[in-house]
Structure formats: C-alpha cells, structure tokens
Amino acid sequence: MHVFYTPDIQTRAELPEEEAQHCIRVLRLNIGDQITLTDGKGYFYRAEISAATNKRCMVNILETTYQEPLWNGHLHIAMAPTKNMDRTEWFAEKATEIGFDELTFLNCRFSERKVIKTERISKILVSAIKQSLKARLPQLNEMTDFNKFITQPFKGQKFIAHCYEGEKPLLKDVFHKGEDALVLIGPEGDFSEEEVQKAIDNGFTPISLGKSRLRTETAALVACHILNLQNQ
C-alpha cells in the first residue's frame, strides 16, 4: 500500500510537491492508479491519480475513512534531546510507530544539546505514521526551557523520571488508564536535583521505569510504550 501525507487534501486535491515527486518519479505511478492518503488529522483517503507531471500529482477522492483513536487519552513525552541526534531521531520514529500524541524538547541544566532543528524530526514523524498506517500525526514542539515548561498548564497526570534515590513507584503502577499523561525525560546527565524538586513543586510525580539504568532515548521510548499499553 502506497500512503502519502497530504495535510491540505480536504481543501486541495493535490499531493505536496515532495510527495508528488516520490509518487510519480520514484514509484512511477500514473493516471488511473489508486493510492492512499492521510491528512494526519484522523482520516485516510482512497484516491485515484487524475493528472501527473514530474512535480505535480492531482487526485480524485474516491472514499474517506475515519480512523478511530488507537489509544485513550493524550500522551505527551517531553525529553531533553540527546547529544547524538541519531538517537533522538530513532526515538521519534519508534515512538510514533508505537503511538503517542505530542513531543516537546526540553532545555535542561545538564543538556548537552541546547539547540534542535525540528524540520528533520517532523519528516521522520510523517514517514513513521505512513509506515505504521496511523492517521494522526503527533504534535511536535520547539525546544522549551525546562523551568518554563513545568509551569505551563496541563490537564492530566504529570510524571518525572529521574535517577536519584528516593521513593519512586513504577510508572505502570501509578498511571490511571484513560487519562491524559505527560512524562519528563532528562538528558544523559539527568535532571539536576533542583529541577526535580521544582517539578515536584509543580505537581509532577517522580516515577521509575524499572531497575535498569536507561539511556535518554530508551527511557523516553519505555515511557511511551507503558502509557500506550496502559491506554489500550
């Protein structure tokens, strides 16, 4: 099945230029061929190519299908990006395949990467929803200062995963099925103790993701998987 991301398909019966080139020049599809589109907003479209050039691909919509949400609640992962961007990109792809709703990058005290360009991550998210046949594109947010982020309003459960000693129940044991959830994942050097305390003061519950010490991107993926499974 060939799936193409067409966010404006409800108002414009045409593939974006990059998708059009892949459709026509790479896959060599042509007028009369049927393809599947998604707008990333919950819908799939069965379409037929009506006109094609090297850079443009017009379509006729034959059928519109709404995809029911595959999990309950709004699942939000906020993580400090890794120094090696390949690891952050790996997380973005795999988390999208598993299923979540929103990703925010955090600028923390011990962050080794203070700037991140989201264009590349956005393309990875798009590719992952097409590959995993999901009709909803996760929301991607720009880098946000940790102290600013934790004070923003959030309707749902709020958790912070850190490596310091203290009482930390397993995420799977304290998360309430069906509710919105936000999990903070720190940088390779972990959150500072001051950041952990500020998060707690702002309503975040410290949690554990298990007995193993995990890399940042692994911890973020484990948190994503736990929330998704608990919400099935």
How many angstroms separate the CA atoms of 58 and 31, rounded?
9
Q: Tell me, what's the pLDDT at 157?
A: 97
What pLDDT digit, counting tens, does each position of 105-164 carry?
Answer: 999 999 989 889 899 999 999 999 999 999 999 999 999 999 999 999 999 999 999 988
**Residue 69 confidence (pLDDT) above 90:** yes
Provide the β-strand partners of residue 159: 183, 205
Helices (H) and strands (E) in the chain, counts: 7, 11
**pTM listed for this prediction:** 0.94
Residue 1 pLDDT exceeds 80? no
Tokens for 143, please give them: 């880098």
Residue-wise pLDDT for 165-183, tens only, equals: 888 999 999 999 999 999 9
* 204 and 150 Cβ atoms separated by less than 8 Å: yes
Answer whether residue 71 shows pLDDT above 90: yes
**Residues above pLDDT 90, as percent of the chain:** 91
What is the predicted pLDDT for the residue at 55? 85
Interatomic CA distance for residues 132 and 117, integer angstroms: 24
Mean pLDDT of the chain: 95
- Which pLDDT does position 232 carry in this prediction? 87
The C-alpha atoms of residue 159 and residue 10 are separated, in whole angstroms, by 37
Output the pLDDT for position 167: 87
**Least confident window among 46-50, 53-57, 69-73, 155-159:** 53-57
**Strand pairing partners for 5?**
38
What's the confidence (pLDDT) of residue 6?
97
Residue 74: per-residue pLDDT: 96
Q: Could you give the CA distance from residue 51 to residue 196 in angstroms, rounded to a whole number? A: 56
Instruction: Quote the CA–CA distance of 53 and 82 in Å, as a whole number.
Output: 41
CB of 66 closer than 8 Å to CB of 43: yes
What is the reported pLDDT for 31? 95
Does residue 99 carry a pLDDT above 80? Answer: yes
| Residue (of 103, 42, 44, 104) closest to 69 by Cα position | 42
Kindly indicate the confidence band of residue 54, based on its pLDDT and cuts at 50, 70 and 90: confident
